[in-house]
Amino acid sequence: MSKPPTDRHPAVLWIPLGLTLALGLVACRSEGREDNSSMPAGRPSVAATRPAPAFAAAPAPIPALASRDPQSAGALSGPLWEFGFEILNRQASKTADDLVFSPVSLAAVLALTLDGAKGSTAEELRAALGLGDLPLAEVNRSWANLIGFINGAERSEGAVANSLWLAGGASVRPGFATTAADAFAAEVQTLPEDPEEARLEVNQWVATHTGGRITDLLQALDPATRLLLVNTVYAKVGWDWFDEADSRDTPFTLADGTKATVPTMFGRSWDTVLVTDSYDALSLQTQDSLSFWVFLPKGDASPEAVALALRQRIREAQGSPYGSMSDPEHEVWAEVDIQLPRFRIEHRCDDLVGDLQALGVHAAFDPGLADLSGMSDATPLAIGQVGQKAMIEVNEQGIEAAAASAEEMDGAAPARPEARLPRQPPLPGRPDPGQRRRAPLHGHRAGSPLRLAPHAVGRLSVTLTGPAWPGSLQSTATG
């Protein structure tokens, strides 16, 4: 792995929900935590705390079923992490470009679909989402609690919004509409008859709920669309780690040996570093309950190797009282120098059907097999297209991330009688709903210097987590 022209050790980041960065972890001057009473407390490098950034997205409603207890969404933590890793890895294998992805946004529209699915259509969706034998009522309560806690946060660090769009003549069952409203706070809207007008109206709704960061989710709308499910996820939070006066352009050495100059932020703090055989990790606390995790692979470890190690750690931690990222046996108290490029990344996944089919979802896409009669009995439906657009921006003020997913449903032939498929066994370590969990919301992979390529000096991984997000941001970068 090429090293950058600096005495520190920057590396590219990988995040399980959707961020990408490069960071330097240096000067680990302590071998343990046994006696650190004389050391300064971990703190950001900027002395004065900045005011919280203005929240740009429209307020999102709280589901009626929500208890607003962060622990009550714990049943989704393991499934969201697993689902996020699966989709992110498949997306990353298709492109060398920077990639940002939100498993939570995609999982939300699929969970809504699950509420209206029956037979093998439901079983395949359940297996892909890693829900095992978790009762559907508990799945819905967990989503309601997750959305309610995020949307009800006092310092508005994030928002999750859902909507159902019906074409003229289409209808949904009252019971499905009630569940969508009570568990997902989903609005019911009517699509204009003109496909272009309908596309623009949906895009405007998405822009309003992502603070104007995603304005073109739908680039076209199939005139055959009868029902459209749309989700948005938005997060904006400040931090105090970096001062613009300290930022400067620095050279990065790319994988091919060439150099690129990128704007880089600098910070320093005493803090806890997670030290493992394959990577070191640091949590950068924001002004709210979200934490920004940065992973620095060791040696020649690839992003894939770090992802596998992190995935295994999260599985094993499901029963741990410390949570998915904490591990007292591998934590070291140290002074850390941070070098993090300032960047903005966008990525579009216009067709996620192939990824979902690879996870075993087939019947829902087959007009002759799809059984979504729990949504509508008057309008047989099958999934046509599934897409997402996501973005992440990281600078001295903080982090802003947004994602939007859409699932288009077309008219289908009446479902044929079908043999019931065996259910997939629960994922290893499926979390106890009563325990507090953290999981993924976006994912990213970086490649070009213009996108602050973790390509630059190695590989790095970053995760945005918090009690309000049983799913976090995921991203991966190669160097």
Q: Residue 414 in contact with residue 378, Cβ under 8 Å?
A: no
Element (H, E) at 271: strand 259-275
Look at residue 370 in the predicted model and tell me its pLDDT: 96
Element (H, E) at 309: helix 303-316
Q: Are 58 and 208 in contact (CB under 8 A)?
A: yes
pLDDT digits (tens, 9 = 90+) for 187-228: 999 999 999 999 999 999 999 999 999 999 999 999 999 999
Which residues, in sequence order, are CB contacts of 95 under 8 Å at separation 6+? 445
So what's the pLDDT on residue 83?
92
Q: Give the CATH number of the domain where residue 214 resides.
A: 3.30.497.10
Tell me what pLDDT residue 257 has: 67
Please give the residue range of the domain that contains residue 174.
1-479
The confidence score (pLDDT) of residue 7 equals: 31
Q: Is 334 helix (H, G, I), strand (E, B) or coil?
A: strand
Other Cβ atoms closer than 10 A to 378: 10
* Predicted pLDDT of residue 175: 96
**Which H or E run contains 252?**
strand 248-253
Q: Using the 8-state DSSP alphabet, how is residue 292 labeled?
A: E
Single out the residue of 351, 404, 352 nearest to residue 162, CA to CA: 404
Mean pLDDT, 10 residues at a time, over the chain (479 residues)?
A: 31 30 26 37 49 73 80 79 87 80 94 98 97 94 91 76 93 95 96 96 96 95 95 92 94 71 90 86 82 78 74 69 64 87 89 94 96 89 96 93 96 50 34 36 38 29 41 37
- Which pLDDT does position 324 carry in this prediction? 59
Phi, psi of 50 (to 5 degrees): -75, 155
Distances (CA, A) of 367 to 122, 386, 400: 15, 15, 39
Using the 8-state DSSP alphabet, how is residue 85 labeled?
H
Question: What pLDDT, in 10s, does the model give residues 276-306?
Answer: 888 888 888 888 777 788 877 787 777 667 7
Rounded to 5°, angle at Cα 32 from 26 and 37 = 100
Q: How many domains does the chain have?
A: 1
- On whether the pTM is more than 0.75, the answer is yes
The pLDDT value recorded for residue 395 is 94
Spatial distance between the Cα atoms of 123 and 110, rounded to a whole number of angstroms: 12
* Per-residue pLDDT tens over the stretch 253-268: 665 667 889 899 999 8
**Which amino acid is present at 466?**
G
Non-local (6+) Cβ contacts of 256 within 8 A are none
